[in-house]
Structure 1
Amino acid sequence: MNSIELFAGAGGLGMGLHQAGFHPVRVVEWDRYCCDTLTENKRRGIKAMAGWNVTHGDVRAVDFSSYEGKLQLISGGPPCQPFSLGGKHRAHDDVRDMFPQAIRAVRQARPKAFIFENVKGLTRASFRNYYEYVRLQLEHPTIVARPDESWNEHLARLEGHHTSGSRTDLHYRVVTRVLNAANFGVPQRRERVVFVGLRDDLNVTWSFPTETHSLEGLLWDQTYGNYWDRHRVSRRGQLMSPRAIDRAKRIHIKPDSLPWRTVRDAIHDLPDLESLDGPPAGVLNHRFQPGARSYPGHTGSPLDEPAKTLKAGVHGVPGGENMLARPDGSVRYFSVRESARLQTFPDNFLFHGSWSETMRQLGNAVPVMLAQAVGESVAKHLTAAA
């Protein structure tokens, strides 16, 4: 199934969707370091990227009309800095917001479906009108903002069209949900809002895939199961928070879901960097990064829980989420390879740039496994409707 990947970043969303059966005929990304990462891994023969046609440039310069009738999917993570909700601001002309470009791509190419993702913060109450504005534009991509129209005037017109019952133009059935990657087997508590739309004429009924992993599953495994034996770690001295202990005591039947995967699950077989004189042979992007320290609000990700959400960092400095917090209270920064494991990138995937630059790429990425889970569900329904 042919697709286009926009705002590709380091390729996590695109790789997961490839594994779900979608094959990008074009991949667009403006960041040079991300493009270097994409093209290098294509050159190195990463299977999921074999046919990627990577365009290094501004998506605003791309005309998608030539793809009309040729695509099953458009996907991506549009950069989004919500515009001011006051005044006569022209939302469609805000250079900080790339959702209008994603919507333009849908309008021009008319794919059977789309998958777009963004930060959970987009669903905050203070951004509620913006969130609704994005959703209605995705449902009705041909209702375009007029040159002299403010965003709230455009929103009102979209609402009027949406409630009119008219569906003669291009229309998508759109569902959105905040997904926690940990609930789909990713060793990281990473919440993203996902927009999925299926073209109305396909008459497809769809819902988000069922979660497969849970905190209750992890608590059961650590309290009654073989988590500690599996890792050859003594239960003695392993700390659980009072809240976790209380919750575990209330679990009387083994959950049907699998346990959340932890940092230890993800990185236990990688060489210990602090015991080596240099980077280990045969392990890509696995170097010790000095300088980690703990202070309030910067305490690291516990070894025996899913990692906190990896962040891109501020001014080139990743935050406390990008540190490993050991049971003895010591901390160190995750290596790039460890962070890639937490984002479920394959071990043969090579990241380009300095440590801070590659951590930025990873902090902005979509976990490959999460993308695959959503993509497989969409692909299944599109195949059934064909």
Structure 2
Amino acid sequence: MSSIELFAGAGGLAMGMANAGFQHSAVVEWDKDACQTIRENRHHYDSHGEDFVLFDGDARDFDLTPFVDDVEIISGGPPCQPFSLGGKHKGNLDERDMFPVAVRAVNRAMPKAFIFENVKGLLRQSFASYFEYIYLQLSYPDKPKRAKESWEDHLGRLEALHSSGKQRPTYNVCFRLLNAADYGIPQKRERVFIVGFRSDLKVEWSFPEPTHSEYGLLHSKWITGEYWKRHKIPKSKRPQAPPNIEARLQRLEAAKKHAPGRQPWVTVRDAISDLPNPEKSSPGLFEIPNHVFNPGARSYKGHTGSPYDEPSKTLKAGAHGVPGGENMLVKDDGSVRYFTVREAARIQTFPDNYVFHGAWSETMRQLGNAVPVKLAQVVAQSVAAVLR
């Protein structure tokens, strides 16, 4: 099934789509370093039989015309800084808001489906009206904003159409806030996924159910001890169990955060413990791409790093391309160091031979903006299953 990837970044969503069986006709990204990363890793996509166009430029300038009759799905992560909790919160007033471009692409190509991903901040109460506007635009992409019409007036027109029942939506749209940790990614990363299917297809679909849980991790650490045994950590070196762990497990169970068959959350230790220590020169260290120690890490208010035995905190791109202090590991002795690019790539579930282009801050920015490959694949596979 053919696809077009907009706002591709370093390729996390694009690679997850490819792993799910979609074949890219075009990949669109404006950032030069991110484009070079995709070029240097093209073999990851070629292995799926793909020969796509890499458009190195502004998505607003990308001509969809050659792909209109061929593309079956459009995907992408419209730049999230307008809605990010770490950004300036300008929303639709921010010139980086690319949702209008995404809507125009859907209107132009009329694919069978689309998948868009964005930050949790998109669901903030202060953006509620604009999120409704995004939702209704994607539901009725064939009813675009008129010349000189404000977005508020366009929203009112779409609300009137939607409530009248005179026309069924062109796309049936679902959205959900997903936590990557619930799907086996070693990171507590909450992101909004917006998925739509063309209504004439009469598709019945829902978001895939979580496969992992916090309950499972806590139980394996503090009740059975299986987690520590698996990592060969003797009882004398294990941390103390938190107080009232049984009550905490009961609360999670009561909140339906536990279901039989769900695996434990994946931790930072699970993800990176087999990599050589980047602070020490060791055999094989320099054979691993992007696994280079970067000094100068420190804790400060609001940025305390990620504990080794939990999923990491959300990796961040950071303001002006400088990653925040959360892109750090808290070591067993309580000190901190920056994650290497390779460690961050593992946390974002990129394969070890996926090489990132650019300086450390630039590559960390690419990773902070990326969709975890495995999470993208889980969502894309569920969409592919019903389209087939």
Query: TM-score normalized by structure 1?
Result: 0.91
Aligned match of 1:147: 147
Aligned match of 1:57: 57
Do residues 293 (structure 1) and 292 (structure 2) align?
Answer: no
Task: Give the Cα–Cα distance (whole angstroms) in 1 for the partners of residues 334 and 175 of structure 2.
Answer: 39
Aligned match of 2:7: 7
Could you tell which deviates more after superposition, 325-334 or 2-11?
325-334
Aligned match of 2:209: 210
Q: Classify the secondary structure of the residue corresponding to 1:148.
A: coil
Do residues 69 (structure 1) and 69 (structure 2) align?
Answer: yes
Counterpart amino acid of 1:3?
A: S
Aligned match of 1:160: 160
Check 1:297–1:243 CA distance in 2 against 1; reply closer, same or farther (3 A cut): farther
Deviation digits for residues 274-312 of structure 1, max 9, x if unmatched?
A: 221798132010000100112332210000000000000
Once the two structures are superposed, the pairs formed by residues 148-227 of structure 1 within 5 Å of their partners are 148-167=148-167, 171-223=170-222, 224-227=224-227
Q: Where do 5+ consecutive residues of structure 2 fail to align? A: 84-90
Aligned match of 2:368: 363
Task: Give the Cα–Cα distance (whole angstroms) in 2 for the partners of residues 21 and 81 of structure 1.
Answer: 30
Asked if the contact 1:24/1:51 (under 8 Å) is kept, the reply is yes
Could you tell which deviates more after superposition, 224-233 or 65-74?
65-74
Task: Give the Cα–Cα distance (whole angstroms) in 2 for the partners of residues 166 and 37 of structure 1.
Answer: 47
- CA RMSD for the aligned pairs? 2.3
Task: Give the Cα–Cα distance (whole angstroms) in 2 for the partners of residues 235 and 298 of structure 1.
Answer: 30
Q: Classify the secondary structure of the residue corresponding to 1:188.
A: coil
Counterpart amino acid of 1:381?
A: V
Aligned match of 1:341: 346
Once the two structures are superposed, the pairs formed by residues 314-329 of structure 1 within 5 Å of their partners are 314-329=319-334
Once the two structures are superposed, the pairs formed by residues 225-244 of structure 1 within 5 Å of their partners are 225-236=225-236, 237-242=238-243
Task: Give the Cα–Cα distance (whole angstroms) in 2 for the partners of residues 278 and 360 of structure 1.
Answer: 29
Deviation digits for residues 13-69 of structure 1, max 9, x if unmatched?
A: 000011111111000000000001001111687635853321101111122233233
Once the two structures are superposed, the pairs formed by residues 67-146 of structure 1 within 5 Å of their partners are 67-80=67-80, 82=82, 95-146=95-146
Aligned match of 2:314: 309
Check 1:191–1:45 CA distance in 2 against 1; reply closer, same or farther (3 A cut): closer
Aligned match of 1:16: 16
Deviation digits for residues 87-122 of structure 1, max 9, x if unmatched?
A: xxxx99963211111111110111000000100000
Could you tell which deviates more after superposition, 73-82 or 42-51?
42-51
Task: Give the Cα–Cα distance (whole angstroms) in 2 for the partners of residues 315 and 92 of structure 1.
Answer: 20
Q: Classify the secondary structure of the residue corresponding to 1:274.
A: coil
Aligned match of 1:247: 248
2:337 to 332, 336, 349: 332
Q: Classify the secondary structure of the residue corresponding to 1:321.
A: coil
Aligned match of 1:86: none
Asked if the contact 1:6/1:76 (under 8 Å) is kept, the reply is yes
Check 1:129–1:248 CA distance in 2 against 1; reply closer, same or farther (3 A cut): same
Task: Give the Cα–Cα distance (whole angstroms) in 2 for the partners of residues 136 and 188 of structure 1.
Answer: 31
Task: Give the Cα–Cα distance (whole angstroms) in 1 for the partners of residues 242 and 331 of structure 2.
Answer: 14
Deviation digits for residues 208-230 of structure 1, max 9, x if unmatched?
A: 00100000010111121411011
Q: Classify the secondary structure of the residue corresponding to 2:235.
A: coil
Deviation of 1:9 (Å): 0.1
Asked if the contact 2:213/2:264 (under 8 Å) is kept, the reply is yes
Counterpart amino acid of 1:347?
A: D
Deviation digits for residues 225-280 of structure 1, max 9, x if unmatched?
A: 41101111123441454475641477899942100000000001100112217981
Check 1:46–1:185 CA distance in 2 against 1; reply closer, same or farther (3 A cut): farther
Task: Give the Cα–Cα distance (whole angstroms) in 1 for the partners of residues 384 and 44 of structure 2.
Answer: 27
Check 1:239–1:103 CA distance in 2 against 1; reply closer, same or farther (3 A cut): farther
Asked if the contact 2:184/2:211 (under 8 Å) is kept, the reply is yes
Task: Give the Cα–Cα distance (whole angstroms) in 1 for the partners of residues 35 and 49 of structure 2.
Answer: 12
Check 1:282–1:64 CA distance in 2 against 1; reply closer, same or farther (3 A cut): same
Could you tell which deviates more after superposition, 259-268 or 221-230?
221-230
Task: Give the Cα–Cα distance (whole angstroms) in 2 for the partners of residues 50 and 235 of structure 1.
Answer: 50
Deviation digits for residues 67-98 of structure 1, max 9, x if unmatched?
A: 23312210000114559xxxxxxx99963211
Asked if the contact 1:92/1:151 (under 8 Å) is kept, the reply is no
Check 1:219–1:201 CA distance in 2 against 1; reply closer, same or farther (3 A cut): same
Q: Classify the secondary structure of the residue corresponding to 1:116.
A: strand
Q: How many residues align?
A: 375
Aligned match of 1:375: 380
Check 1:150–1:44 CA distance in 2 against 1; reply closer, same or farther (3 A cut): closer
